[in-house]
Amino acid sequence: MAAHRLRPGVNRLFAMGPELGSARRAYSAFQAFTEVLRLPSKQLTKLVFPLQELHGHFVPGSRPDLHLNIFHPSLEDIARAESFFTASARNRIEYLTSAVRLDHAPDLRHPEVCFIGRSNVGKSSLIKALFSLAPEVEVRVSKKPGHTKKINFYKVGKYFTLVDMPGYGYRAPEDFVDMVETYLKERKNLMRTFLLVDSVVGIQKADNIAIEMCEEFALPYVMVLTKIDKSSKGHLLKQVLQIQKFVDTKTQGCFPQLFPVSPKHCLRKIIAFF
């Protein structure tokens, strides 16, 4: 499937914005983001732009192959994007339905973005965090890997549908390949895939299968590094550089910039990428 264009309401979030310093006063009506804007600059950068914070640990003069500014939204862009996930009477955010096969999936007109990853990679926790401003939306998080067994669809206002795919690897559904491969290959309104990789262990064999599917079907996808708070800075830097090299040399459809996240490092930059 060829890369698709997102509708105008979402496309405008891809605009490059000003640097950190000029954005503190913008869109402060959203309480969650207002709290972030009050942080000191160093802590703000660490929270919202963790790759930039990591970059500061390299030896001066070295030039690691980290793509920091390909997608570099301003804080205004991020705050505006967060409003997409803020439930209101005019912006309904809700669970729609689940499906075990593509032919059971609803016929939806909005663009779709899907999240896929290895069992226990933190996918449900990430999606739950994305919906933190819509507390009536229930996303079950389990300590046991392989909790998600169906394709789950969530409406995000009038903008798009978020799709939660079953985890692959340990305790994956028996029909995982048929279920997920068919969706990725044939879903016409799938606009972008977020592929989650555990930053503690890096890209595993099971991840390669998902990457190969995205590449084979010519899907535009983004690599999201989870659990970045679980490693030392040195180990995390090593993993980030290895994964960045893999993306640069082994992929064609993957967005070249990595997106590191954790419960302690907010998801607002990935929100803006929608």
Only one residue has tokens 């990591």, namely 54
**pLDDT above 70: percentage of residues in the chain:** 65
- Inform me whether the pLDDT recorded for 30 exceeds 60: no
Model pTM?
Answer: 0.77
Q: What average pLDDT does the segment 120-137 reach?
A: 87
pLDDT at 232: 85
78 burial type by CB count under 10 A (0-12 exposed, 13-18 middle, 19+ buried): buried
69-83, 98-112, 125-139, 255-269: lowest mean pLDDT where? 255-269
Averaged pLDDT for residues 133-162: 80
Q: What does pLDDT average to over the chain?
A: 77
Q: Where are the domains of the chain?
A: 26-57, 88-272
The model's confidence at residue 179, banded by pLDDT at 50, 70 and 90, is confident
Strand order in the sheet with 112-117: 93-99, 151-156, 160-164, 112-117, 190-198, 221-226, 259-260
More confident residue, 187 or 68: 187
pLDDT at 17 over 80: no
Q: Which fold has domain 88-272?
A: Rossmann fold (3.40.50)
